[in-house]
Amino acid sequence: MFQGETAITIDDKGRLAIPTSYRDLVARECGNRLVLTYSPFDAGCLYLYPHAVWERLRDQVNALPRIKSDSRLLQRKLVGAAAFVEPDGSGRISLPASQRSATGIDRKAVLLGVGDKFELWSEQAHHEQVRLTFGDAELGEHLLGLEL
């Protein structure tokens, strides 16, 4: 559904404009209903889900056993921090100050379309993760069948 990398500027009010190339798709696929939450895997990154995709994920995460500390952490990071956002008439969404602060997302950011969601990265964190390589053989083994 979503793919591509776009440099984004966050305005003084903490809003970002959804790129025009995605606006029709976001309106059509999710009725402009999006959910913003932390990435459980990467510092400096927020996830932006279409509402229907979010509901399925939320239900799966909430079904995890609360007795396990990893489950509780995932529930807090994803579900507890989730914020519903809808683009305004200019295609902008407001990013909660707490999420911007925790991830280091400031004026310059990068929006990545990664299939069923967007990733919003601070510019610095994005540059750092782009430089990463699959040097660890164990990490890269699951990629052996891909034609890269």
pLDDT single digits (tens) 91-107:
999 999 999 999 999 99
- Annotated domain spans of the chain: 2-130
Please state at what angle helix 20-30 crosses helix 51-62, rounded to 10 degrees.
60
pLDDT digits (tens, 9 = 90+) for 108-136: 999 999 999 999 999 999 988 888 766 65
Architecture of domain 2-130 in this structure = 3-Layer(aba) Sandwich (3.40)
pTM of the model: 0.89
Q: Give the pLDDT band (50/70/90) at residue 84.
A: very high
- What's the CA gap between 124 and 15, in Å, rounded? 19
pLDDT at 142 over 70: no
The residue-averaged pLDDT of 11-33 equals 93
Between 22 and 136, whose confidence is greater? 22
User: Which residues pair with residue 54 across a beta bridge?
Assistant: none
| pLDDT attached to residue 19 | 94
Task: List the Cα angle 85/90/95 in 5-degree steps.
Answer: 35
